[in-house]
Structure 1
Amino acid sequence: MKKRGFEIVERYQQQNLNLPKRQTKNAAGYDIEAAEDFILPSIWQFNFIKILHVLNTAKAGLTPAQTAAAQQVLKPFLVPTGIKAYMQPDEVLILANRSSGPLKRRLILPNGIGVIDADYYNNPDNEGEIYFQLINYGVSAVHIKKGERLGQGIFVPFLKSDDDQADGQARLGGFGSSGR
């Protein structure tokens, strides 16, 4: 019986992708690569300064149109990996920045980490494909090349509280589907 690992999702089967691997014998994280070339625009290319100015000068707050525009600018981009992860029901795959990502490339995970639950694997919406949410806070766009390491994945067991209230509902969708 397989306990945990990685597979290539169906739509990338013929794309010559590498499964994640650890780079050294004591590394905790499996390096996860981009499945295709991806241009990650800088937040500064999307009127970020104008939005900050409006936020600082708007006496009555933002209009709904200004709020919608600001939300579009400040959202992360989803970079496809072409891989999925399987694990035990009491495990999670934590996605983390590469230590060099913010320093050298100005790329960050906006939520600090990504959480891939065991029931995300083979979900009906996207087969469980893992995406890295990234924001580029550098001054220019970053060209991420196919095969370039985006971040790392770390398998971790988790514990449940004595009064755990999980309702046992099965996951119905893909990325972000377990939230409200």
Structure 2
Amino acid sequence: MKVRGFEIVSKYAEEGLTLPARSTERAAGYDFAAAQDTVIPAKSDNGQRPVLIPTGIKVYMQENEYLQLVSRSSLPKKKHLVMPNAVGIIDADYYNNEQNEGEIMVQVLNLSDEEVLVQKGERIAQGIFLPYLLADQDAETEKAVRAGGFGSTGIG
């Protein structure tokens, strides 16, 4: 029985990607790398619109867990890139969704005046598995079944 872990998305099966791993014995986060070279336009060239960097990775976990996706601490200093929402939440039901098989994308903004190249294999984010708690009223709220991928759980 699978408890929690990572898999390579099928379209990247032959691309030589590696699964996220912790870099040190006491590291909390699993390092995610870019699945392909991605150019992030200079802030003035794209009107500060976020760019999605594909990782080629999907994640499975227990239903009462989520994966918190955060920027690697070196990304702003070395590349002038930040995650506009600061933290990404990867829900357990994102795995194998119909739209993109559950591929994790890292959303970034370029704060510099020059375009930035993120190269395939470059570590860009960390994922940390966490449990979550439910409110007393949770059972009273009707829930939808996830059908889509990135940003598919609501309008706002």
TM bucket, shorter chain = over 0.9
* Whole-angstrom CA distance in 1 between matches of 2:3 and 2:91: 14
CA RMSD of aligned residues (A): 1.0
* Whole-angstrom CA distance in 2 between matches of 1:167 and 1:75: 33
Decide which structure has greater helix share: 1
Equivalent position of 2:42 in the other structure: 42
Q: Which amino acid is 1:129 matched to?
A: E
Q: TM-score, normalised by structure 2?
A: 0.95
- The 5-angstrom pairing of residues 1-180 of structure 1 reads 1-46=1-46, 73-164=47-138, 165-180=140-155
Q: TM-score, normalised by structure 1?
A: 0.83
Give the drift of 1:88. 0.5
Q: Which amino acid is 1:27 matched to?
A: A
Decide which structure has greater strand share: 2
* Whole-angstrom CA distance in 1 between matches of 2:21 and 2:27: 10
Runs (4+) off by over 3 Å: none
Give the drift of 1:148. 0.3
Question: Which stretch shifts more, 89-98 or 159-168?
Answer: 159-168
Give the length in aligned residue pairs. 154
SS in structure 2 opposite 1:44?
helix
Structure 1 residues 12 and 166: CA distance shift in structure 2, 3 A:
farther
